[in-house]
Amino acid sequence: MRTDRNRSLPAIAATAAGRTAKAARSTAVTAVLAARGHGRALAVLALVACGVATAPAAASTPGPAAASGAGQTGESAPERAPARSCSVLLAPIRPGETFSRVLKEACADTIEQADQAAVGAARTSAQAASTLLLEAADNINQGLPRYRWWGSAGPCDTAGYGIRDLGVMWNDRISSWRQGHSRCNYLNVWEHNSYQGAKTYWHNWTQVNYVGNAWNDRISSMHIHYEP
């Protein structure tokens, strides 16, 4: 009959390891049963303590760059898109009105192209008397791009022309301007649409090469008219 005395050392070691593992599993089961009343977390800890399970990996928290997506492509946040040159044909302010109606507006890569699209070489009857009222620029010293307003009824009178808003492309962009016609000699500007917010004006200025730090990139609505 075969006895443990006649067994090889590797076989004896394997048997001992098996008994140790079986004991560990038994202890783990006992620990789980004991911790069952205290929830799943304690049961897992019991298994970990007995070497039967491994601790779950902690969830990583993304840093500010990962959370926002910044730095993943090496690109910086996009800057404000450059404005194109635009030309607008306005109707004069009539009794009971506060703002001019926009008859036509066009934007292009050059101010000449915008003028062509807005007032045209072959003018309709409404455009026949169109007069340049005002030209504004996105940069100081009348730098490009530019924005022009044309009056469909000729030069300014005391009622003049009112610009309710400058639109998405030109709002808060004006840095310089110049007079289009000598009778359009009084310019009021506001910081918000529809003549709202802070206000300033220029009277009898034919050209302003810089509107100043207080008003640079701040103008949102305007009124231009004649005043002696």
Instruction: Indicate if the pLDDT at residue 121 is higher than 70.
Output: no
Sheet with 196-203: strands ordered across = 161-163, 221-225, 186-192, 196-203
Q: What is the mean pLDDT of residues 184-198?
A: 98
pLDDT averaged over every residue in the chain: 75
DSSP symbols for 4-52? GGGS-HHHHHHHHHHHHHHHHHHHHHHHHHHHGGG-HHHHHHHHHHTTS
Tens of pLDDT, residue by residue over 143-173, are: 989 999 999 999 999 999 999 999 888 999 9
1-10 confidence digits (pLDDT tens): 444 444 444 4
Domain ranges of the chain: 10-56, 85-225
User: Residue 48: what pLDDT?
Assistant: 43
Angle of CA points 56, 60, 65, to nearest 5°: 170
Cα-based angle 180, 173, 93 (whole degrees, multiple of 5): 45
Please give the angle made by the CA atoms of 195, 196 and 201, to the nearest 5 degrees: 55
- Average pLDDT over every residue of 95-99: 95
Specify the pLDDT at position 24. Answer: 47
- CATH 2.70.170.10 is right for the domain spanning 85-225: no
The b/e string for 55-64 (b: 16+ C-beta within 10 A; e otherwise) is eeeeeeeeee
> In this model, does residue 31 exceed pLDDT 90?
no
CA geometry: angle 137, 140, 142, nearest 5 deg: 45
Residue matched to tokens 């062509």 = 116
